[in-house]
Amino acid sequence: MCGRFSLPFMVQEVVEEFDIDQVLREFNPNYNIAPMQDIAVILAGSRILDVYKWGLLPHWAKDQKITYKLINARAETVAEKPAYRKALETRCLIPAGGFFEWKKDGKNKIPYYITLKKRKIFALGGITSIWTSDGKTIKTCSIVTTGPNKFMKDIHDRMPLIIPKDKEDLWLKGSIEDVKKLMVQSKEEMQSVIISTLVNSPKNNSPELLKPVY
């Protein structure tokens, strides 16, 4: 799964990296992004940057609490699951600087921060939903996940879908059949560091969280 990630960059850095044409909402750098928080998303069209809530709320949902269960969509079943099938038609790129995962070590869980060697900002594959009721509108998203690549296998059995730089437009604008071909384990060169367990709490949010402890 992908239950935490970071975007330790300013809006302008994201705008430049992804050739954004229109910014609907700005955001602040976030070193410890957790589910249910507002996150930056890039939408199709003329590369629009907006802010959505992380945790999908399907258009048919009656109870908003369902979003807690829908932060991730498995690539293997996203096209069939009722909660995700419609959302797969409206995809987004989710800018990230890295993501966190916890490796089991006996009774303990060791937090790792995983980044790409050649890209300081990259895109996770996301799906979106716009929920409306009684004049209220909520924009939400979920991160697609895959099985682990060779690098991630030693840390965890799932990982977020990372969209290659040259496939970003295809993810945003391609057909369902096109994007199914993109939902595979990343071939990007990756690196990781062990970080402080302070990251375990979303209340902790500072650049120090991303530094290796040894």
Which residues does the annotation mark as catalytic? 2, 101
CB within 8 A of 13, min separation 6: which ones? 121
**Starting from the edge strand earliest in sequence, which strands make up the sheet with 108-116, in order?**
30-33, 5-7, 98-105, 108-116, 190-194
How do strand 72-74 and strand 136-146 relate by DSSP bridges?
parallel
CA distance 82 to 180: 17
Q: What is the end-to-end Cα distance of the chain in Å, rounded?
A: 25
CB within 8 A of 187, min separation 6: which ones? 149, 164
CA distances in angstroms from 168 to 161, 173, 174, 207, listed in the order given: 12, 9, 10, 28
| Nearest Cα to Cα of residue 98 among 20, 29, 185 | 29
CA distance 84 to 108: 33
